[in-house]
Structure 1
Amino acid sequence: MRLKQFIIIAFVSLGGLLLSACNKQLSPLLNNPSVPTPTAASPDLYLNNLQLSFKGFFQSATDLTDGLTRQEIMYGPTYYNAFAPTSFDGIWSTAYESVLLTANTMIPIAQSKNETIHVGIAQVLKAYTMITMVDLFGDVPYSQADQGVTIPNPAVDKGAAIYDSAEALLTAAIANFAIKPSVKPANDLFYGGNAANWTALAKTLLLKAYVQTRLVDNTVAAKITALVNENNLIKSPSQDFVFSYSTHSQAPDARASHYITNYGTDNGAGDYIGTWFMWQLADAKGFADPRGRYYLYRQIDNVFTDSRTASQTTRQFAIPCLYRTDPYAPGVPYCLVDTGYWGRDHGDNEGIPPDNSLRTTWGLYPAGGAFDYNQNTATGQSTSRETGAGGNGINPIWLSSYTNFLEAEAALILGTPGDPKALTIAGVDASFNKVAGFAGAIGYKIPTSDTTMLITASNQQKYEAAVASQYQNAATTAAKLNVIETEYYLAAWGNGLETYNNYRRTGCPNNLQPTLDPNPGLFIRSFFYASVYADYNKNAVQKTTTNVKVFWDNNADNFVY
């Protein structure tokens, strides 16, 4: 018995030694080279994914908001049913599953490698994303977000607290940009690793946050004054924060999204531009805005003589081209503007007719579409159709003109440095220069030599003189603010997010076209929560009304319509 026990014990001991030796030989193979550890990951690869995700986040934000300010169509017919919670699933998932998760993973890795510009970029994009999530939805998850199984049902943070955290992130980013990095980003899609431009953006986003919260924070005037006096904001086109697309159409399709929608097939335009926005460009000042031919492309130049309209039995002819006579928006047209601008009115949810080859659509700027020189050609991919600049457009996330308009508002309302009138004209000037120089910037030659259709020094001066006169003749502060915000509105074509924020904060432009439904309900002061959050998070409480205000909006319920 003892002999057997000894043999068994010896065998077990020998087996243990063999297994131990085996483990020592196999241990190095447990590190799968196809699944690298986080510390081995490249911040450059994270940065590439982060910036592409951020681009998608911004595109979703502007597409959701520009219809509310009548730049594109909001079908409605009421504000309550204009959007379903599922409308926000995409932007919600992009914010949390792509932008925040990537930034939160990347930051400590880049910090460990002293790649300070990478860190700062991630902090800026994270801050912008969370400020925007508050602007769109109000109180949202933040401090408990992206914790995985640790916190599967994150609670919301107050919007004001998230703004504070975002401002702290921007301040931290500014500090990181001032530190010499171990290596610069190899693939910064916005500024090419230029820390100075990223610093100017971070400070400009602080200005944006301060102006946005001026209704509820009496300390922002001093903060704005400090930023203006420091003179390190985005004030030059070379510093503009834009995402640039290309003409590449396959695997992946790298063209601007509104180009794909409106030029990507031979079916004509897929979007409807808002009638009021087109009217502002075509008629509102008594003469055409020179940017109009760059912003918008008319597939027809005369609705009443074009042969393609002969068989159309659409709402455009069921409802004549009348002009509003109500006190909210005197002179604003229904249906059509002049003879060639074909869009839809605010809240028009009638059936969609086969008018894709008639609709006015996105032009050269910023979508990389066609310049309108009265060519009277439908859009599409074939050689017989108008293809414009091939989708070589931009997302105008933050332009130098926006900074001028924010400074003008702050100077007028809060008494911060600067002359509001001069700053407004500077904003208009920056916008005209951006649009006029866009074709050259993307290497596209506008196919017309008729200078009357182009932005020229003469028509730009005429426009700026008209704006200066409007401002000078405005009798009240509110009227002057309306001039500032209307020009901001027109300069921000391609960025519905800023026009939506400005409208809720200032009520301007103050004569937006009302909805076709005389009882549309209260304006959307924040969106419903996304269904992916409201349906699956046990702590989520879905909104029951469109009038839930974000923390910085203390205006009356009927302040905007």
Structure 2
Amino acid sequence: MKYPQYIGLALTGIIAFGAVGCQDFLDVNQNPNNPESVPPSVLLTSTAISTGFSVGNEIGRITSLLVQHVAGAANQAAAADVYNIRGGLDNQWQGELYAGTLENSQTMIDIAERSNSPAYAGIGKLLKAYNFALTTDLWGDIPYSEALRGLNNLQPRFDRQEDIYKGAEGIQSLDALIKEGLADLAKPSDLMPSGTDDPIYAGDLQKWARMGNTLRLKLANTMSRREPALAATIINEVIAANSAILTNANDFEVPFGGGIGNRNPIYAFGDASNGQRPLDLFLSQRLLDSMAAKNDPRLPIYFTTTRTPVLPTTGGPPAVNVSGTRTTIPGPTAGTFLTFTGLQNGTVAPRPATADRSRYNAFIAGASGDAPIRVLTNTQRLFIMAESALILNTSTGGSSVQGLYQAAIRASMTKAGITDQAVTDYFAANPSVAILRGSTTQRLNQIMTQKWISWVGNGYEAYNDYRRTGFPRLALAQNAEGDDPNVLPKRFVYPASELSGNVVNAPNPAPGTTVPVWWDVD
């Protein structure tokens, strides 16, 4: 579903930003009008769109590099590819999150509560919980309970991530915040969202409630290694109520348009006409090898093919050229072949020619920037249920771990446009993918590897899963640097602006990228 008529409003009237790059950000806090007088309808539009923008912009690029969905060929992408991720995220912390999605969601809540419009307050609380979760997942301890108070507190305390997830004295847990938002959605409301201001669900509060319950699943799953009993309780509660996103059509995905200023940030970063560097990112050899080895039909949907064919040996594995960057798999019809060119993460080898680089395809970025950013999905819900049933012995909802696993892959593939029959045929031809086998650890590896493939385009979620489970197994980037070249970064470092501007409360010494966040026990 596309809403170009107000995406432009959200991205130019409320959110001031230029070309999408590391120096540009969503400056929602610079509205010349009094934000307290902005109607909640306008804030809903801007907060929803900026949430998707944040997930797909710099945060998405760095995390997609770290989980080896893509590789960095030049400039800042190449630096992040070898774990040099210190600095450069002030814009995301200060602009896209605290002065953007978080402040706007809180303002929407405040205005909605004063105008007896709990429908908007409920949506605001769900968006606030999601964006606080994103912030704490990436940085660890963050300003939370004392944040978003404007001039009343310019130096909020840093709350522990454990308290943000579980709650503590004076600290509302993220799950409690979501449940409060869900309760608001069920109340009579003087003002109601509609198709003119709600770019996600066109005012359908039942779908917003399913988004909220899927968010509960996501957060419970995230802390499941640290708090298995609590996580299992929440997961079973949501499954029993059958209240999460149950179909691909109801995915929480943020739409973008095809015009300059309205484009998907993944596309905008690689769009030469928008002043960017279109060749800084392309397909990681790690992902290419994983998908090509199983003839995964999503590969040409996720990434572009390249001009130079490499014919495979008859009956042999996919062909790889001597440099290890070009791979060919069977095409959609007999006798045809598709060639892809990837890049080893961190390599200093010469880059392939421009026309020989596989880059994000239209499903991820849009033919002209009009693809959505997929934030919370039915596929994700099914993978969470499969994993938690395997590890926590939670309810399968009447299915089985095997059934949930296959349903998750099917949901991912059909979302990408593969027919249901083609998925069935793929399972039959690839039992090593379709059937869970071996020990619990081996089956978990299968589940998480397929979930990792499904998350191409959303590196943040794949990064969470990798840190939490250690799957899929990722070799360190070649020529790695960063805080420790032997450790794939476990968190983002705090921006210099926060460390200097909130010196009273900011952690000192601030943790480096090798220090795991609270829920990461591996």
TM-score between both structures, scaled by the size of structure 1: 0.74
Which digits, 9 at most, give the CA deviation of each residue in 1:457-478, with x for residues without a partner? Answer: 5542232336654464621000
Q: Which moved more, 1:132-141 or 1:101-110?
A: 101-110
User: Equivalent residue for 1:171?
Assistant: 179
1:495 aligns with 2:458: yes
Larger Rg: 1
Q: Which moved more, 1:456-465 or 1:475-484?
A: 456-465
Which digits, 9 at most, give the CA deviation of each residue in 1:495-517, with x for residues without a partner? Answer: 1111111111111112x243223
User: In 2, distance between residues paired with 1:537 and 1:352?
Assistant: 44
User: In 2, distance between residues paired with 1:413 and 1:161?
Assistant: 24
User: Equivalent residue for 1:464?
Assistant: 427
User: In 2, distance between residues paired with 1:289 and 1:92?
Assistant: 39
Superposition deviation, residue 76 in structure 1 = 6.4
Q: CA, structure 1 residues 465+531, in 2 after alignment: closer, same or farther (shift >3 Å)?
A: farther
1:547 aligns with 2:514: yes
User: Equivalent residue for 2:251?
Assistant: 240
User: In 1, distance between residues paired with 2:278 and 2:162?
Assistant: 44
User: In 2, distance between residues paired with 1:345 and 1:495?
Assistant: 20
User: In 1, distance between residues paired with 2:430 and 2:119?
Assistant: 41
Query: What SS does the corresponding residue of 1:242 show, helix, strand or coil?
Result: strand
Superposition deviation, residue 37 in structure 1 = 8.2
User: Equivalent residue for 2:408?
Assistant: 427
User: Equivalent residue for 1:112?
Assistant: 114
Whether the 8 Å CA contact 1:365–1:435 is kept in 2: the answer is: yes
Query: What SS does the corresponding residue of 1:145 show, helix, strand or coil?
Result: coil
Superposition deviation, residue 521 in structure 1 = 2.3
User: In 2, distance between residues paired with 1:86 and 1:68?
Assistant: 16
User: In 2, distance between residues paired with 1:505 and 1:404?
Assistant: 18
1:367 aligns with 2:365: yes
1:52 aligns with 2:49: yes
CA-atom RMSD in angstroms: 2.7
Superposition deviation, residue 216 in structure 1 = 1.3
Query: What SS does the corresponding residue of 1:464 show, helix, strand or coil?
Result: helix
Q: CA, structure 1 residues 496+35, in 2 after alignment: closer, same or farther (shift >3 Å)?
A: closer
User: In 1, distance between residues paired with 2:239 and 2:516?
Assistant: 29
In structure 1, stretches of 5+ residues that fail to align are 1-33, 305-318, 323-333, 369-388, 437-454, 556-561
User: Equivalent residue for 1:221?
Assistant: 232
Superposition deviation, residue 52 in structure 1 = 2.7
Superposition deviation, residue 270 in structure 1 = 4.2
User: In 2, distance between residues paired with 1:554 and 1:188?
Assistant: 38
Query: What SS does the corresponding residue of 1:208 show, helix, strand or coil?
Result: helix
User: In 1, distance between residues paired with 2:121 and 2:430?
Assistant: 42
User: Equivalent residue for 2:333?
Assistant: none
1:321 aligns with 2:322: yes
Match of 1:399 among 360, 365, 377: 377
User: Equivalent residue for 1:506?
Assistant: 469
* AA partner of residue 497 (structure 2): V
User: In 1, distance between residues paired with 2:154 and 2:386?
Assistant: 45
Match of 2:268 among 260, 277, 285: 260
User: Equivalent residue for 2:71?
Assistant: 73
Which digits, 9 at most, give the CA deviation of each residue in 1:229-285, with x for residues without a partner? Answer: 111111101210001122223xxx212223233344398644222111122222x22
In structure 2, stretches of 5+ residues that fail to align are 1-31, 167-172, 312-319, 329-337
Match of 2:296 among 278, 285, 289: 289
Which digits, 9 at most, give the CA deviation of each residue in 1:203-247, with x for residues without a partner? Answer: 111111111111111222122112111111111012100011222
Query: What SS does the corresponding residue of 2:236 show, helix, strand or coil?
Result: helix
User: Equivalent residue for 2:478?
Assistant: 516
User: Equivalent residue for 1:96?
Assistant: 98
Task: Tell me how many residue pairs correspond in the alignment.
Answer: 450
1:36-47 to structure 2, matched below 5 A, reads 38=36, 40-47=37-44
Superposition deviation, residue 351 in structure 1 = 8.2
